[in-house]
Amino acid sequence: MGNVKLKIKKGDVVRVITGDDKGKEGRVLEVQPAEMRAIVEGINMITKHTKPSATNPNGGIVKKEAPVHISNLMVVAGGTPTRIGRKPDENGKLVRFAKKTGEIIK
Protein backbone atom coordinates (compact mmCIF):
# COMPACT_ATOMS: atom_id res chain seq x y z
CA MET A 1 0.00 0.00 0.00
CA GLY A 2 2.90 2.34 0.75
CA ASN A 3 2.27 6.08 0.71
CA VAL A 4 -1.50 6.35 1.05
CA LYS A 5 -2.88 9.62 2.44
CA LEU A 6 -5.27 8.60 5.22
CA LYS A 7 -8.26 10.70 6.18
CA ILE A 8 -7.92 9.81 9.87
CA LYS A 9 -5.24 11.40 12.06
CA LYS A 10 -3.99 10.94 15.61
CA GLY A 11 -6.25 12.84 18.02
CA ASP A 12 -9.41 12.60 15.86
CA VAL A 13 -12.64 11.43 17.51
CA VAL A 14 -13.99 8.52 15.47
CA ARG A 15 -17.06 6.27 15.52
CA VAL A 16 -16.87 2.54 14.75
CA ILE A 17 -19.32 1.75 11.94
CA THR A 18 -19.12 -2.04 11.93
CA GLY A 19 -17.91 -4.96 14.04
CA ASP A 20 -18.17 -5.87 17.71
CA ASP A 21 -17.73 -2.26 18.89
CA LYS A 22 -20.22 -0.78 16.38
CA GLY A 23 -21.56 2.60 17.52
CA LYS A 24 -18.79 3.29 20.04
CA GLU A 25 -16.68 6.44 19.84
CA GLY A 26 -13.12 7.07 20.89
CA ARG A 27 -10.01 9.15 20.27
CA VAL A 28 -7.35 7.88 17.84
CA LEU A 29 -4.16 7.10 19.78
CA GLU A 30 -2.02 5.91 16.85
CA VAL A 31 -2.34 5.52 13.07
CA GLN A 32 -0.51 2.76 11.18
CA PRO A 33 -0.60 3.86 7.51
CA ALA A 34 1.33 0.83 6.21
CA GLU A 35 -1.28 -1.57 7.65
CA MET A 36 -4.23 0.82 7.02
CA ARG A 37 -5.12 0.51 10.71
CA ALA A 38 -5.61 2.77 13.72
CA ILE A 39 -5.58 2.21 17.48
CA VAL A 40 -8.61 3.84 19.11
CA GLU A 41 -8.98 4.50 22.85
CA GLY A 42 -11.27 1.90 24.47
CA ILE A 43 -12.11 0.15 21.17
CA ASN A 44 -11.25 -3.47 20.19
CA MET A 45 -9.88 -4.33 23.64
CA ILE A 46 -7.83 -7.52 23.87
CA THR A 47 -6.53 -9.48 26.86
CA LYS A 48 -2.79 -10.03 26.67
CA HIS A 49 -1.01 -12.48 28.99
CA THR A 50 2.39 -11.02 29.79
CA LYS A 51 5.48 -12.71 31.25
CA PRO A 52 7.28 -10.99 34.12
CA SER A 53 9.88 -8.53 32.80
CA ALA A 54 11.92 -5.55 33.98
CA THR A 55 9.11 -3.09 33.10
CA ASN A 56 6.36 -5.34 34.49
CA PRO A 57 7.93 -7.43 37.29
CA ASN A 58 4.70 -9.28 38.16
CA GLY A 59 3.54 -10.14 34.64
CA GLY A 60 -0.14 -11.04 34.53
CA ILE A 61 -3.10 -10.16 32.32
CA VAL A 62 -3.12 -6.78 30.59
CA LYS A 63 -6.07 -5.26 28.71
CA LYS A 64 -5.06 -3.14 25.75
CA GLU A 65 -6.41 -1.79 22.47
CA ALA A 66 -5.81 -3.71 19.25
CA PRO A 67 -5.67 -1.95 15.87
CA VAL A 68 -8.91 -1.45 13.89
CA HIS A 69 -9.03 -1.21 10.09
CA ILE A 70 -9.45 2.37 8.82
CA SER A 71 -12.48 1.37 6.72
CA ASN A 72 -14.41 0.56 9.92
CA LEU A 73 -13.98 4.08 11.33
CA MET A 74 -15.68 7.40 10.58
CA VAL A 75 -14.48 10.79 11.80
CA VAL A 76 -16.98 12.58 14.08
CA ALA A 77 -17.25 16.30 13.33
CA GLY A 78 -19.82 18.48 15.11
CA GLY A 79 -21.29 15.46 16.91
CA THR A 80 -22.13 13.47 13.76
CA PRO A 81 -20.02 10.97 11.82
CA THR A 82 -19.07 12.28 8.40
CA ARG A 83 -16.96 11.48 5.39
CA ILE A 84 -13.82 13.53 4.94
CA GLY A 85 -12.74 15.51 1.88
CA ARG A 86 -9.61 17.55 1.17
CA LYS A 87 -9.55 20.95 -0.49
CA PRO A 88 -7.17 23.91 -0.62
CA ASP A 89 -7.85 26.74 1.85
CA GLU A 90 -7.38 30.45 1.07
CA ASN A 91 -3.57 30.05 1.32
CA GLY A 92 -3.56 27.06 -1.06
CA LYS A 93 -2.74 24.57 1.72
CA LEU A 94 -4.76 21.33 1.65
CA VAL A 95 -7.15 21.05 4.60
CA ARG A 96 -9.60 18.33 5.64
CA PHE A 97 -13.30 19.17 5.69
CA ALA A 98 -16.50 17.38 6.74
CA LYS A 99 -18.56 16.46 3.68
CA LYS A 100 -21.79 16.63 5.71
CA THR A 101 -21.38 20.16 7.06
CA GLY A 102 -18.50 21.59 5.03
CA GLU A 103 -16.72 22.60 8.26
CA ILE A 104 -12.91 22.48 8.23
CA ILE A 105 -11.37 19.87 10.55
CA LYS A 106 -8.18 20.82 12.34
CA distance 102 to 51: 49
Given a cut of 80, whether residue 104 has pLDDT beyond it is yes
pLDDT of residue 56: 85
What whole-number percentage of the chain has pLDDT above 90?
Answer: 78
Summarised one tens digit per residue, pLDDT across range 33-58 is 999 999 999 999 999 999 999 988 99
- Total Cβ atoms within 10 A of residue 16: 20
Give the confidence band of 2 by pLDDT, cuts at 50, 70, 90. low
Mean pLDDT value across residues 71-90: 93
CATH number of 13-78: 2.30.30.30
Please check whether residue 100 is in contact with residue 84, taking contact to mean a CB–CB distance below 8 angstroms. Answer: no
